[in-house]
């Protein structure tokens, strides 16, 4: 499915915590957010489960590919962090255990955070992943064999494939990360989504684990906490100032958007913003 | 299921290539043969596919646990050998592709080889494995993700769980390995099951890969090619002379029958038989 | 040697980029800085070699222990980052190739950066490491076997053990990191040590790789780029504001100062400073 | 050094336990035996230390390259078997601890076993290995860091490089393995070198660990216990019948002699001898 999207697409959106938006290129065109959804489910899991979730998933960079089973075996079924696939599957299990209708809970959350009630998932993408996602089925069954999933494997995977198939634009994404750039509080509704400390911590996990096994390079070149997806999207932020989303479907060998990473590098170089 | 079998059970059967049988203890009581079935499916796959099967599975000891996914990841979905679970799943896929009714083909083969038409599988065991075998489901999906399974994952696993649930006695097992002790030819029917060279090669693979990651210790202490199963059975053989099966459900940390290994060690020490 | 230092020692020093110093406890007592020296040698190597050094050492978190040889083998002798021992040995090789007297070049640099001409190395510590550092000798020879050391192994190790044996106080350390907290420029001399961009990048590498395989936890709890040593010291910083050094010899299982990490966590919680 | 030997060299020698010798090609030309020497030192260590040596080195195939450090790290400095470099270094340490002059003890043993008092080592080869063997220096220091070497690293390596530099012909080698083909007893002197059981066990370890990570393939194709060296030599045997040595310097990707392996495969196919 993803490979059908033209590689020439490029969009970018900046959302300041003071309410301004800046758009460029295909910033309003929805695309498959894929792994970026892991930030939303981690937020939901933190809200319902609190710090106890760190007993079931770590918060260290993996040093290996996003879909590796190696580390999981050496570390007895505890994924290294919530942003590799294995960790996100455990987080999906937690969200599922805590919501009577987890798909709907996620959708409502994302619509509220992006201030866009028309955000939805793409059933064709979900279907395609379910058909071909053998590696993720392997991961989920492997985790289950270690006793680190409470729900049925199929139910967890159903929700996991659903979250990956959410379709959003750069503007939606930049807005939806505003609460993380704003100390846990939604800038326009004033709603407290997470505590100040929790928001900082998600930002820290994004910086050390958010861009697969290229986190060092991303921190080095871009200098912002961020989360990428294989659909070509990346969202990043400067605490207290802004969130920024880019989209370009061509990926580099590490699975991050090639043009997107370059655009963010240029953005921080030109504006001088950086957390470092 | 397997844990319900009393740990005090012990049986042993020797079958010479000249037709004599010797029995001790519970030698006639059927038990779950589990991984010993991998020798039968490898034989069937060799008959139908020939040496081409070695393109899809290696023949080197794994150096890791029987159900490890680590090596599979480092070696891109090619299992190290046909006697670790991953390799047996690929072999099951090959057998399934070559037989219109693979369950029946296997059952007929085993009944003929053991000269016992009442050998059958235990549906309760198969059912139990299907319900709890998350690790094997993970392995099969992982292999599929590398493109090394032709059939649907569920179909391959159905056959794999079936083969593991075959129920046989020590005498059945010792007899069924007679063709491997006799240069590929069934001693009592004269049927050529495999060529001389193929039989030698299966014996070689048993010696280097047949007892999980304890092959070195087994060769060192017992000195015969053999194949073990987590049901507590072990079958071994001296080419040109005899095959021997032992059964005792208590396992050592490597997953081989504790008393069974000791019995075989005593057998080779007392009789002086050894391939070394 | 290190184990002789009383575990009850505790010191802390804060140095703002505007020139203020704050001291607590044993902040003026020198101790063995060990791996903190890797930041100095990386700075020297960047000054002389520029970005070309990244061809010989990566900048990704390792996901494994600081003295692991595993990754080095899988990645053919290219260390993951300059702050694991393997990477620091390659950096030591670079510094040695670029300075006629590398020990002196390092000592002068550290004295200038800490504004303390009496900083020196502890020959007893260097001697002790040379006698017992088998793991580091193994690492250096392993890297040499891949062709990633230009100088003789013994010469590189001599310099490496020397840098680890530097003896400095919390105040020395906090001051010596001021240029990294101040965009690459020494606040009191005005000397430009590194470009703005290079300083940011060293900070980024500290955040993702500076505290062994606890970088995720350190970012999560402390929220500052930092570098630790097995002597019990940690130096961290908030860009544009301050650098802070703590010292307490008792280590946690990951090799970072236990009380030091807690002190830094408390410091950022109480003051509200954080890069996130 | 080794690369100077013409790739066109080929020699073969068969020595029966009844005293006959058969020679072909360059069977009388000495060459560097390299890792084949590990069988001699294992024999010496077994004679002096007995079964206690298995506390310091395993007897399982490694599943990895002969000079890998990975397994050693995961298994805390206990080498998998005595025929990988790490294991042979531990064995060298044991021999050194048990002989006042270990070089001479080895040389006398090899001269007696091969019935050739002119066998000697090649000082140029030893010198060359000492100069370039960084990987082995890394291995030895790594093992020392785990406390699994009693002597100084340099002394152990000196003996290790010495044993690898022994220079012998195919006939020397075939004769020197006669005691292993003959139940531990030298056929022509009647001297009991090892017990029957010990000889069988060394044969078993050769079969499962003797040809690097190609043991499965070697057993599969050749069907004899054997030991290879990177100098292009391989010695193998059929218990109770014969020992055979081949030499051809061109190696396959696993580090075993290419033509030598083919020659042994042809030898067992044509003669029908095989332990399987």
The rounded distance, in Å, linking the Cα atoms of A1 and A165 is 11
Cα separations (Å) of B270 from A255, B235, B263, B265, B266?
61, 18, 10, 9, 6
In the set C14, C37, C90, C160, the catalytic residue is C160
From chain D, pick out residues whose CB is under 8 angstroms from the CB of C70.
Answer: 69-70, 73-74
The rounded distance, in Å, linking the Cα atoms of B66 and B212 is 5
Assess whether pLDDT exceeds 90 at residue A197: yes
Work out the angle at residue D201's Cα, subtended by the Cα atoms of residues D200 and D202, and round it to the nearest 5 degrees: 95
C274 → chain A, closest CA residue: A200
Assess whether pLDDT exceeds 90 at residue A69: no
The pLDDT of residue A211 is 92
Position with higher pLDDT, C83 vs D6: C83
C144 → chain D, closest CA residue: D134
Which 8-state DSSP code applies to residue A257? B
Assess whether pLDDT exceeds 90 at residue A79: yes
Q: Which pair of tokens denotes residue A40?
A: 């939303």
Binary contact (A145, B138; C-beta < 8 A)? yes
Binary contact (D204, B61; C-beta < 8 A)? no
* DSSP string for B6-36: -TT--EEEEEETTS-EEEEESTT--EE-GGG
Binary contact (A208, C215; C-beta < 8 A)? yes
Binary contact (C60, A219; C-beta < 8 A)? no
Q: What ipTM goes with this model? A: 0.92
Q: Which pair of tokens denotes residue C88?
A: 């620091």
Nearest-CA distance from D74 to chain C in Å?
9
Binary contact (C138, D134; C-beta < 8 A)? no
In the set C14, C32, C37, C38, the catalytic residue is C38
The rounded distance, in Å, linking the Cα atoms of B77 and B22 is 43
Q: Strand, helix or coil at C186?
A: coil
Neighbours of chain D (3+ CB pairs under 8 A): B, C
Instruction: Clarify whether C152 is annotated catalytic.
Output: no
Q: Count of C–D CB contacts within 8 Å? A: 51
User: Of the candidates D205, D208, D223, which has its C-beta nearest B61's C-beta?
Assistant: D208
Query: Mean pLDDT, chain D, as a whole number?
Result: 94
The number of helices, as runs of H, and strands, as runs of E, in chain D is: 12, 8
Predicted confidence band of residue A1 (pLDDT cuts 50, 70, 90): low
Binary contact (D207, B208; C-beta < 8 A)? yes
User: Of the candidates A70, A73, A134, which has its C-beta nearest B141's C-beta?
Assistant: A134
The pLDDT of residue C38 is 98
User: Of the candidates B201, B204, B217, which has its C-beta nearest D60's C-beta?
Assistant: B217
Nearest-CA distance from D89 to chain B in Å?
19
From chain D, pick out residues whose CB is under 8 angstroms from the CB of C73.
Answer: 68-70
Pair C228, C211: CB distance under 8 Å: yes
From chain A, pick out residues whose CB is under 8 angstroms from the CB of C58.
Answer: 216
Phi, psi at B44, each rounded to 5°: -60, -40
Choose among D80, D229, D244: nearest CA to D171: D244
User: Of the candidates A73, A144, A153, which has its C-beta nearest B70's C-beta?
Assistant: A73
Per residue in C220-267, pLDDT (tens digit) is 999 999 999 999 999 999 999 999 999 999 999 888 999 999 999 999
Pair C81, C57: CB distance under 8 Å: yes
In total, chain C counts a number of residues equal to 276
The rounded distance, in Å, linking the Cα atoms of A247 and A261 is 9
Range among A100-109, B3-12, B125-134 rated most confident: A100-109
The pLDDT of residue B129 is 82
Q: What is the mean pLDDT of residues A26-41?
A: 97
Binary contact (C63, A59; C-beta < 8 A)? no
Assess whether pLDDT exceeds 70 at residue A77: yes
Nearest-CA distance from D253 to chain C in Å?
17
The rounded distance, in Å, linking the Cα atoms of B245 and A174 is 67
Per residue in C72-82, pLDDT (tens digit) is 887 889 999 99
**Residues of B with catalytic roles:** 35, 38, 160, 212, 230
Query: Mean pLDDT, chain B, as a whole number?
Result: 94
Q: Which pair of tokens denotes residue B172?
A: 């059945």
Nearest-CA distance from C181 to chain A in Å?
9
Assess whether pLDDT exceeds 80 at residue C182: yes
Give bridge partners of residue B24 from the DSSP assignment: B12
The pLDDT of residue D69 is 76
Q: Strand, helix or coil at C187?
A: coil
Which 8-state DSSP code applies to residue D257? B
Query: In B, what residues contact A, Cβ < 8 A?
Result: 68-70, 73-74, 134-135, 137-142, 144-145, 153
Binary contact (B201, D276; C-beta < 8 A)? yes
Assess whether pLDDT exceeds 80 at residue C63: no
User: Of the candidates C60, C64, C199, which has its C-beta nearest A216's C-beta?
Assistant: C60
Which are the contacts of D246, defined by CB distance < 8 A and separation ≥ 6? D10, D11, D12, D170, D233, D234, D257, D259, D260, D263, D264
B interface test, pick of D207, D255, D265 with most B CB neighbours within 10 Å: D207
* DSSP string for D118-130: T-EE-HHHHHHHH
Phi, psi at C110, each rounded to 5°: -65, -40
C202 → chain A, closest CA residue: A220
C interface test, pick of A83, A214, A216 with most C CB neighbours within 10 Å: A216
User: Of the candidates D197, D200, D216, which has its C-beta nearest B208's C-beta?
Assistant: D216
Phi, psi at D103, each rounded to 5°: -60, -45
Q: Count of A–C CB contacts within 8 Å? A: 103
Instruction: Clarify whether C200 is annotated catalytic.
Output: no
The rounded distance, in Å, linking the Cα atoms of D185 and D163 is 23
Cα separations (Å) of C24 from C14, C27, C244, C262, D72?
9, 6, 11, 15, 44
User: Percent of chain A having pLDDT more than 90?
Assistant: 85
Q: Is C65 exposed, middle or buried (0-12, 13-18, 19+ CB in 10 A)?
A: middle
From chain A, pick out residues whose CB is under 8 angstroms from the CB of C200.
Answer: 223, 274, 276
Neighbours of chain B (3+ CB pairs under 8 A): A, D
Neighbours of A235 (CB within 10 A): 32
Cα separations (Å) of A269 from A221, A273, C208?
9, 7, 20
The pLDDT of residue D47 is 95
User: Percent of chain C having pLDDT more than 90?
Assistant: 85
C-alpha torsion sign, points A3, A9, A14, A19: negative
Pair B84, B208: CB distance under 8 Å: no
Binary contact (C80, A71; C-beta < 8 A)? no
Q: What is the mean pLDDT of residues A83-95?
A: 96
Choose among D44, D47, D91: nearest CA to D209: D91
Helix ranges restricted to H, chain B: 37-49, 70-74, 85-98, 102-114, 123-132, 134-145, 153-164, 170-176, 178-181, 196-209, 215-221, 258-271
Helix ranges restricted to H, C133-177: 134-145, 153-164, 170-176
User: Of the candidates D69, D145, D153, which has its C-beta nearest C142's C-beta?
Assistant: D69
The pLDDT of residue A111 is 98
The rounded distance, in Å, linking the Cα atoms of B189 and D38 is 46
C interface test, pick of D141, D149, D152, D161 with most C CB neighbours within 10 Å: D141
Q: What is the mean pLDDT of residues A162-180?
A: 97
Which 8-state DSSP code applies to residue B109? H
User: Of the candidates B61, B203, B276, which has its C-beta nearest D204's C-beta?
Assistant: B276
The rounded distance, in Å, linking the Cα atoms of C161 and C141 is 15
User: Of the candidates A61, A269, A274, which has its C-beta nearest C215's C-beta?
Assistant: A61
Helix axes B37-49, B85-98, angle to 10 degrees: 50
Ranges of chain D with pLDDT below 50: none
Binary contact (B207, D276; C-beta < 8 A)? yes
Query: In A, what residues contact B, Cβ < 8 A?
Result: 68-70, 73-74, 134-135, 137-142, 144-145, 153
**Where do we find the tokens 């370009």?**
A248
From chain B, pick out residues whose CB is under 8 angstroms from the CB of D214.
Answer: 60
Choose among B200, B205, B233, B201: nearest CA to B219: B205
From chain C, pick out residues whose CB is under 8 angstroms from the CB of D150.
Answer: none
Nearest-CA distance from B153 to chain A in Å?
9
From chain B, pick out residues whose CB is under 8 angstroms from the CB of D223.
Answer: 200, 204
The pLDDT of residue A276 is 94
- Rg (C-alpha) for chain D, rounded Å, is 17
Per residue in B104-160, pLDDT (tens digit) is 999 999 999 999 999 999 999 888 887 779 999 999 999 999 999 999 999 999 999
**Residues of A with catalytic roles:** 35, 38, 160, 212, 230
The rounded distance, in Å, linking the Cα atoms of A129 and A140 is 14
Q: Which pair of tokens denotes residue C251?
A: 């280590």
From chain A, pick out residues whose CB is under 8 angstroms from the CB of C223.
Answer: 200, 204
Which 8-state DSSP code applies to residue D160? H
Q: Strand, helix or coil at A108?
A: helix
Binary contact (C138, D141; C-beta < 8 A)? yes
Q: Which pair of tokens denotes residue D255?
A: 């580090």
């Amino acid at each position: 499915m993803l490979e059908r999207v033209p590689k020439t697409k490029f969009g970018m959106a900046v959302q300041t915590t003071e309410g301004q938006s800046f758009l460029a290129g295909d910033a309003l065109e929805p695309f498959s957010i894929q792994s970026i959804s892991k930030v939303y489910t981690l937020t939901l899991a933190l809200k319902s489960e609190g710090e106890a979730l760190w007993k079931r998933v770590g918060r260290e960079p993996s040093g290996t590919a996003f879909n590796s089973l190696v580390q999981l075996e050496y570390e007895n079924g505890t994924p290294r962090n919530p942003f590799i696939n294995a960790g996100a599957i455990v987080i999906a299990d937690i969200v599922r255990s805590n919501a009577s209708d987890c798909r709907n809970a996620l959708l409502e959350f994302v619509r509220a955070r992006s201030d866009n009630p028309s955000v939805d998932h793409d059933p064709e993408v979900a279907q395609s992943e379910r058909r071909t996602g053998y590696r993720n089925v392997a991961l989920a069954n492997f985790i289950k064999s270690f006793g680190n999933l409470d729900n049925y494997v199929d139910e967890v995977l159903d929700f996991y494939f659903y979250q990956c198939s959410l379709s959003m634009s750069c503007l939606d994404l930049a807005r939806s990360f505003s609460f993380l750039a704003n100390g846990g509080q939604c800038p326009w509704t004033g709603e407290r989504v997470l505590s100040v400390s929790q928001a900082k911590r998600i930002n820290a996990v994004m910086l050390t684990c958010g861009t697969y096994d290229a986190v060092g390079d991303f921190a080095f070149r871009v200098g912002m906490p961020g989360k990428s997806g294989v659909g070509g999207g990346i969202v990043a932020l400067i605490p207290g100032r802004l969130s920024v989303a880019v989209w370009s479907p061509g990926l580099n060998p590490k699975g991050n958007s090639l043009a997107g990473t370059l655009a963010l590098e240029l953005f921080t170089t030109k504006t001088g913003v950086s957390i470092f």
